[in-house]
Structure 1
Amino acid sequence: MTDTIPAATIPGVLRAAAETFADRVAYVEDDQTLTFSDLLSRVRRTAAGYRDLGVSPGDRVVVWAPNSIDWVVAALAVSYAGGALVPANSRYTGHEVADLVDRTSARLLVLADGFLGRSQREEVSAASSLPSLIDTVDVHELPDAEPGDIDEVASAVRPDDVADILFTSGTTGQPKGAMSAHRQTVGVARAWGELGGVHAGDRYLVVNPFFHAFGYKVGIITGLVTGATLYPLATFDVEQVAALVESEQITVLPGAPAIFSSILAAGVHTRHDLSSIRLAVTGAAVIPVVLIERMRAAAPDGLAIEQVVTAFGMTEAVVVTMCRGDESAETVATSCGRAVPGMETRIDVPDGAPEGTAGELLVRGENVMLGYLDDPAATAEAIDADGWLHTGDVGTIDADGNLRITDRLKDMYISGGFNVYPAEVEQVLARLEGVYDVAVVGVPDDRLGEVGRAYVVGSVTEDAVLECARERLANYKVPRQVEIIEALPRNLAGKVLKNELRPTSEES
């Protein structure tokens, strides 16, 4: 098992990392490097600068910027000053960020003015008066002050204090703010690092956005507890990723399934040496089995990654299940692994249902959020009286405890009286040669109620897609409509935005 830092708060982990790893490189970005000692020094001075601006323990600070070393310093300084971090999606509009500021009563907004050629400062100023804010600062011009007694403020942070408020992706409604305590954010990062065998010699490319739990908790905080060197990437570019892996000998590359399917579809693995990658971790509600097989397969057909691990998580619980390094290729390819330490899983099915019956996944344990910010009704709806979080995902759990997600409850549709789970159809179509990406949704039909519509990215014809489906699926599961498109709409976490694919009432 990998040795990790034992502290239970983010400031405690940061100070322990600076002491343990000292002059080891913590971050590399372009030609800039930062040791663990340097990181602590910068965080202390920025936290003191926050305090001079008027930020007090318990205050919320919104960070709205792409991945960078400056983002890391800005975020860790919030915790060091005793505040709660509120990461904002770097692609949000000023109106969306203003809403987060207002809903969290944030005292400070840290932004990257000019990112993607936009004026974020002007956007947010035009969107709202933001009465709670005392200041807005640029992430590349963070406040700098003598630390003074800022270490005492950091030492006063308790494991049960709220560390961060991460807002859900909002793909089915208004985003909700999931609150986590320091012990939870640190604990899940430690568990993920230990199960993945991440260590101080690893070079970890962080493609996942820092505003997402996969980038922030499994990225930044895991780097602190393990001593791994992190390489933050502001935007995903498949050629840049491949070139960085080759030049920096990257060993750890987690990411959404779309990251790896993009690498394979672009063929960059045939032009760059990616053999340094020893650990790849991917996760989503549903992961194409064929993708896992290709990640493990030898080049040029695959990426030849030694250890490919699948996991399941969500904003409200971060990491729930994860495969272990010693599990079979079949287990990794067909499941999301077993519950991580401190977590329980079960499938909600009627009493007496046959073993293996699919139902809603319920999870309980140390990683489950404290609740939704200022929304006790939504919290009570999500977490029942026994502490079980209702995920909205449909799945099964085998005799060994391995979870298999079959779909989202909201994505299921009924065709001619039969339940159809789009993920099952997507898994079949993903194996068709020439299909790079696929998503299936239910659309209204006068005779059957609903039928499937497949959106396919690739060099295939509609007829070939339908023929493949008819050969391998029951008739009621076969999509009645196929559209060949250039790309599926996804959020920055890689999740397909199926609401954008479903027809509006006017279209249907």
Structure 2
Amino acid sequence: MHNKGLGFWLAKRRLRNPDKPAVIFDGAQLTYRQFADAADRVAAVLAHRGIGKGDAVAYIGENSPQFLQVMFAAAQLGAVFVPINTRLAAPEMQHVLVDSGARALVLDPEFLDRAMPGVEAGRIAQVIVTGEGVPESPGLARLVAEATAGHTVADVDLDDPAAIIYTSGTTGRPKGAVLTHGNLTWVALNCIVDYDVVSTDVSLMISPLFHVASLGMGALPVILKGATLVLEKGFEPGRALGLIQQHGITMLSGVPTTYQMMADHPDWARTDLSTLQKLTCGGSAVPTRILNAYEERGLSFSQGYGMTETSPGATSLSPAMTREKQGSVGLPHFFTEVRIADEHGDMVPRGTVGEIEITGPNVFLGYHGLPEATAEAFTDDGWFRSGDLGYLDADGYLYIADRLKDMIISGGENIYPAEVENLISDIEGISGVAVVGVPDDRWGEVPWAVVTLKEGADVDTEKVRSHLDGLLARYKLPKNVVVVEDLPRTASGKVRKADLRARFSSD
């Protein structure tokens, strides 16, 4: 048997760079030999519990070496890794656990209560907590220490599923995007080529690994190249600045909010940033005020565009073009192509707005268990239909014009209005609702709910947030609820959200 996917990466690194620091976490360091040995033992633990090729292994936890060890262990077995957003509410976690058909769940103990409804409703046969656990129920750390060493080799091809990453859908239910071993390999190669990742890099990971950007474009290129990953459980701007100076960080990935919070921190001016060479920023365009703050320190950004379905990178804007092409999300990644089509699927001239379509080996396999949605997501000749509007300039640089799917990006988190609207519609007294993104200095944009009421009804922000709390992750809860007499609609009855965004963005 031969594993052609992610499952052979650590074994190769153990041979080539056994004593090189692979992961630094919470003051401790793992070499590539230790990292690979631990992943081997996790694979043995899972295999002993009946997990094999095609089985889904879910993970709920903050950034840690265990997150990556479980992912690579699953890859060794030919199993499918399902990372779950730790901020989801219990019903949201339940949907992912049930929909993915997960057979095993590894999680930090603090998420056990929230995950249990999904465990009870789904097909999960094995639940393993990270850490030592308790005497009668040993945790992953104890199980790994007692496991038999040795590298598991499963028969895995690049076209086999490696992960299912859930992305909220316009119909209100998250869809599982199936990413293959090839998808994740090629997106890592795109990053290595376009961001000049080298083996001497030391990369600070401050964003959650359950996000596909942090995993596919942050951690995986570093590991593939044999560089060093400094892993943080969460983000605190002062601590991040300290780690940059302490470890001589050369690479940093984040979203505009995190970069702004670091620049606003009292330690910003006195932190030595001289080792930083590569800053990548996603989620939304970098505001001018942030560009200015970092350029004053001699630093520039690589920006880009993508989505879960493209693993996620589709385009990148090099630091050299940040000012000349300001507002652009860049050129297609090295092994990726982008084109623009009109409503009939025909290609449009440069400078003309149309739907962004993407192809390349980083484009996903399809939506888990949703053949019709998968078919609708692709053109007849196999290009992925992003649902976003944009145009290419004369030099081939992509500009985003609008979002057909009305997605809100708040602090790097994707919020799909339909999911929130469906639940708000259940509130007594509400006759109509539209959720839109409103600009926010800290988070980029935040969700607002614009509602109409039945006669005599009394609904306010507190009532709406109270109803949603526990049903949705808190970042999805509207920051404000505005009552209007009528929602603006098209002739066909659809709410004109662009009108609402324009109206409330100017307030």
Alignment TM-score, normalising by the size of structure 2: 0.76
Q: What's the offset of the Cα at 1:319?
A: 0.8
Q: Evaluate the alpha carbon distance shift between residue 331 and residue 227 of structure 1 in structure 2; reply closer, same or farther with a 3 A threshold.
A: farther
Per the alignment, residue 277 of structure 2 pairs with: 278
Corresponding residue number in structure 1 for 2:429: none
Aligned positions of 1:299-310 closer than 5 A: 299=297, 304-305=298-299, 307-310=300-303
Equivalent position amino acid for 1:297 in 2: E
Deviation larger for 313-322 or 498-507: 498-507
- The match for 2:18 is 22
Query: Structure 2: where are the runs of 5+ without partners?
Result: 132-138, 418-433, 443-473, 488-507
Q: 1:10 aligns with which of 6, 22, 41?
A: 6
Q: Is the 8 A contact 2:10 2:36 kept in 1?
A: yes
Question: Where does residue 90 of structure 1 map in the other structure?
Answer: 86
In structure 1, how many angstroms separate the alpha carbons of the residues matched to 2:255 and 2:96? 25
Residue 385 of structure 2: SS of its match in structure 1? strand
How many residue pairs match? The answer is 423
Query: Cα deviation per residue 1:184-209 (whole Å; 9 max; x = unaligned)?
Result: 11111122122111112111001121
Instruction: Quote how far apart the aligned CAs of 1:172 are.
Output: 6.5
Match status 1:322 vs 2:316: yes
* Structure 2 Cα separation of the partners of residues 352 and 200 of structure 1: 40
Contact 1:54 1:134 (C-alpha < 8 Å) held by counterparts: no
Partner of 1:479: none
The correspondence of residues 39-78 of structure 1 with structure 2, limited to 5 A, is 39-78=35-74
Q: Secondary structure at the match of 1:61?
A: strand
Separation (CA, whole Å) in 1 of partners of 2:192 and 2:7: 18
* Equivalent position of 1:208 in the other structure: 207
Residues 45, 172 of structure 1: alpha-carbon distance in 2 compared, 3 angstrom cutoff: same
- Residue 124 (str. 1) matches residue 115 (str. 2): yes
Deviations 1:206-250 (A, max 9, x none): 112111111212222212211111111111111111111122221
Q: Relative to structure 2, which stretch is displaced further, 92-101 or 274-283?
A: 92-101
* 3-state SS in 2 of match to 1:266: coil
Q: What's the CA shift string for 1:236-266, capped at 9, x where partnerless? A: 1111111111222211001112211222233
Counterpart among 396, 401, 406 of residue 391 in structure 2: 396
Match status 1:356 vs 2:354: no
Partner amino acid for 1:272?
A: T
Q: Which moved more, 1:244-253 or 1:256-265?
A: 256-265
Compared CA separation, residues 10 and 355, structure 1 to 2 (3 A):
closer
1:38 aligns with 2:34: yes
Give the SS at the match of 1:367. coil
* Map of 2:152 onto structure 1: 151
Asked if residue 379 in structure 1 is aligned to residue 377 in structure 2, the reply is no
AA at the equivalent of 1:124: A
Q: Which moved more, 1:9-18 or 1:371-380?
A: 9-18
Conserved 8 A contact 1:331-1:337: no
Q: Is contact 2:197-2:225 (8 Å) kept?
A: yes
| Alpha-carbon distance, 1:95 to partner | 2.9
User: Using the alignment, how far apart are the partners of 1:499 and 1:33 within structure 2?
Assistant: 41
User: In 1, are the aligned partners of 2:4 and 2:156 still within 8 Å (CA)?
Assistant: no
Counterpart AA for 2:292: R
Measured after TM superposition, the shift of residue 339 of structure 1 is 0.8
Contact residue 355 and residue 390 of structure 2 kept, 8 A: yes
Give distance in 1, aligned partners of 2:13 and 2:201: 15
**CA deviation after TM superposition for structure 1 residue 275, in Å:** 2.8
Select which of 97, 101, 106 maps to 2:102. Answer: 106
- CA distance in 2: counterparts of 1:60 and 1:262, whole angstroms: 37
Q: Is the 8 A contact 1:292 1:308 kept in 2?
A: no
**Any conservation in 2 of the 1:188–1:319 contact (CA below 8 Å)?**
yes
Cα distance change of structure 1 residues 411 and 139 upon mapping to structure 2, 3 Å threshold: same
Cα contact 1:171–1:499 (8 A) shared by 2:
no
CA 1:267–1:164: 2 relative to 1, 3 Å: same
Change beyond 3 A, Cα 1:246–1:53? same
Show CA shifts across 1:311-356 (max 9, x none). 111000011111246x434245332111112311112236696641
Q: Which residue of the partner structure matches residue 473 of structure 1?
A: none
Match of 2:252 in 1: 253
In structure 2, relative to structure 1, the CA distance for the partners of 1:354 and 1:121 (3 Å cut) is closer
| Identity %, equivalent residues | 28
Query: Counterparts in 2 of 1:466-485, with a 5 A limit?
Result: none
Change in 2 beyond 3 A, CA 1:347/1:58: same
CA, structure 1 residues 184+14, in 2 after alignment: closer, same or farther (shift >3 Å)?
same
Are the counterparts in 2 of residues 71 and 139 from structure 1 also a CA contact under 8 Å?
no
